[in-house]
Amino acid sequence: MIVDNGQWWMPSNRDSTGTGTLTTVDDGSLRLKLDHRIVPWAKANQIVWGETADGTPVTLLGCVALSDRHLAQAVHVHVALIGAHIASVDDRIFCQVSVSLSNLTDWATRGHDAPPLPEQMTNPQRPGEQLSLRRVGREVQLVIESDEPRRWADFDTTIQAFEDLLTLAAMRTAGSSRPSCPPVTAPRSRYG
Q: Are residues 35 and 114 in the same domain?
A: no
pLDDT on residue 131: 93
Please indicate, yes or no, whether residues 23 and 74 belong to a single structural domain of this protein.
yes
- pLDDT over 80 at 75, yes or no: yes
Average pLDDT over residues 71-87: 89
Q: Are residues 75 and 145 in the same domain?
A: no
Residues 12 and 78 grouped into a single domain:
yes
The full 3-state SS of 153-190, as one line of letters, equals HHHHHHHHHHHHHHHHHHCCCCCECCCCCCCEECCCEC
pLDDT at 173: 54
Q: Which of 101, 178, 85 is nearest to 136 (CA)?
A: 101
Query: What pLDDT shows up at residue 29?
Result: 80
Task: Check whether 127 has a pLDDT greater than 50.
Answer: yes
Read off φ and ψ for residue 58, nearest 5 degrees: -135, 135
Mean pLDDT, the chain, integer: 82
